Structure 1
Amino acid sequence: MISDLSKQAYKFARELQETLNGTVCQHVRIAAVLRPRSAVGPVFTLGHGLSAANPTQPTAFPLRIDQKKPRSWMNLSFQVRLDDEADFLTVHLSYCGIFTDEALETCLLHWDYEREKDKYTSAHVQVYGTSPALEALNRSNDHKRSLDKLHIPVGGRRFRPCIEDVIEFLITERLAEGREGWEKRVEEGRNRYRRGQLLAAMRRNPDVVEEYLESRGE
């Protein structure tokens, strides 16, 4: 089982690396390393700066396509394992944060996915900043929350954003510079991700597939 998992984890890491270096980065290396312990069985962590000596804590990398001083940094982490049938790669946890410094002291926002989360939506984004509207609500609320403590839903387990969505956001909002042709690479990766999610949804919901086929007379 670990052999099948490692092959799929390495493939996913290579795809992430090619996507990042083909759009908003250069020379970023995404490694896949088996975690020492996991309550859910064998798990690989994917990220930058991982090694046998550091199997769990990815390091940040600059968002730049040349030698200019970067304006922003990304910290990216995926924990992947095989699904319950031990056939297909599934993401157990993921994190993607955008920072203005390599030390990761000043965060703009981060996207999170926690598969087994039950206190709030498993896929969410947290934004750092101030909100006069939230401050007004807090004045009459016993449970005061800062903006970065709000878990804003983003599509749930199946339809959450992919790394290509993040890349498109960074480029179109002028938070990072994109390489020539980045649109094509983003669209290819996003289509690959959505196809995989659709196939997973079909496997988990065969009755819906059957209903659709019946509606088409097939």
Structure 2
Amino acid sequence: MTSDLHGQARSFARELQETLNGTICRDIRMVAVVRPFSASGTVFTIGSGLSKANPTQPQGFPLRTDRKKPLAWMNLSYQVRMDDELTYLTIHSSYCGIFTDETLETCLCHFDFEREKEQYTSAHLQVHGTSPALAALNRGKDAKRSLDKLHFPVGGKRFRPSLEDIIEFLIAERFVDARPGYEEVLERGRERFQVKQLRAAMRRHPDVVEQFVKEQAAT
């Protein structure tokens, strides 16, 4: 089963790599490396700069399509495992941070997904900056809470942003330059993500699928 997981994890890493290099990056390599230990069973980390010697800490990479100095950097990682039926690859957690420096010290925002989080929504966005409104809302033990400590919900487990959505955001806001034809790359990747999410939802709700099929047959 570990070999099957590794194969699916490597395939997913290639998909991410092709999406990045086809839109806002050049020569980025995404790899899948098994983690030394996980309470969730066998888990692979997917990211840039990983190896057997470094299986858990992906490196940031520049967002540029040429050799010009980049304005932004991305730190991207996924932890993946097999689902409860030991059949399909599932994302246990993911992180996508946008930074303005190679050392990843100055963060604009990061998109997180943590499947087993209970304190706040599993898919969320955290934004770095200042907010007079937050200062006015804070009180008591939260009086000094900063903006980056808020977890803004972004669609939950099934409808969270995909990597393609984040890339489109960076392009639309003019933080990065894009390759010609990037729209087609994003559309292919987004379609792939949405189909996977739909299939997962169908497996978890066969009664809804059955009812839908009956309704369609009756029309």
Give TM-score scaled by structure 1 length. Answer: 0.97
Deviation at 1:216, TM superposition (A): 1.8
Aligned mates of 1:217, 1:185 — CA distance in 2: 35
Query: Which residue pairs with 1:84 in the alignment?
Result: 84
Query: Which residue pairs with 1:188 in the alignment?
Result: 188
Query: Which residue pairs with 1:113 in the alignment?
Result: 113
Deviation at 1:146, TM superposition (A): 1.2
Opposite residue 134 of structure 1, the aligned amino acid is L
> Secondary structure, in 3 states, of the residue corresponding to 1:158?
helix
Query: Which residue pairs with 1:103 in the alignment?
Result: 103
Deviation at 1:200, TM superposition (A): 0.3
Aligned mates of 1:2, 1:214 — CA distance in 2: 39
Q: Is 2:147 the counterpart of 1:147?
A: yes
Deviation at 1:141, TM superposition (A): 4.7
> Secondary structure, in 3 states, of the residue corresponding to 2:93?
strand
Aligned mates of 1:68, 1:204 — CA distance in 2: 47
Aligned mates of 2:5, 2:42 — CA distance in 1: 8
> Secondary structure, in 3 states, of the residue corresponding to 1:201?
helix
Deviation at 1:168, TM superposition (A): 0.3
Aligned mates of 1:26, 1:34 — CA distance in 2: 25
Aligned mates of 2:12, 2:125 — CA distance in 1: 22
Deviation at 1:217, TM superposition (A): 2.7
Query: Which residue pairs with 2:73 in the alignment?
Result: 73
Aligned mates of 1:143, 1:154 — CA distance in 2: 23
Aligned mates of 2:162, 2:18 — CA distance in 1: 14
RMSD: 0.9
Aligned mates of 1:213, 1:56 — CA distance in 2: 44
Aligned ranges 1:27-176 → 2 under 5 Å: 27-138=27-138, 140-144=139-143, 145-176=145-176
Q: Is 2:10 the counterpart of 1:4?
A: no
Aligned mates of 1:116, 1:9 — CA distance in 2: 20
> Secondary structure, in 3 states, of the residue corresponding to 2:87?
coil
Aligned mates of 2:34, 2:134 — CA distance in 1: 41
Aligned mates of 1:105, 1:38 — CA distance in 2: 28
Give TM-score scaled by structure 2 length. Answer: 0.97
Deviation at 1:206, TM superposition (A): 0.5
Unpaired runs of 5+ in structure 2?
none
Cα deviation, 1:43-83, whole Å, max 9, x if unaligned, reads 00000000011011000000000000011100000000000
Aligned mates of 1:81, 1:135 — CA distance in 2: 40
Aligned mates of 1:38, 1:78 — CA distance in 2: 14
Aligned mates of 1:67, 1:87 — CA distance in 2: 42
Aligned mates of 1:190, 1:63 — CA distance in 2: 19
Matched residues, number? 217
Query: Which residue pairs with 1:214 in the alignment?
Result: 214
Aligned mates of 1:67, 1:213 — CA distance in 2: 52
Deviation at 1:143, TM superposition (A): 2.1
Structure 1 stretches (4+) deviating beyond 3 angstroms? none
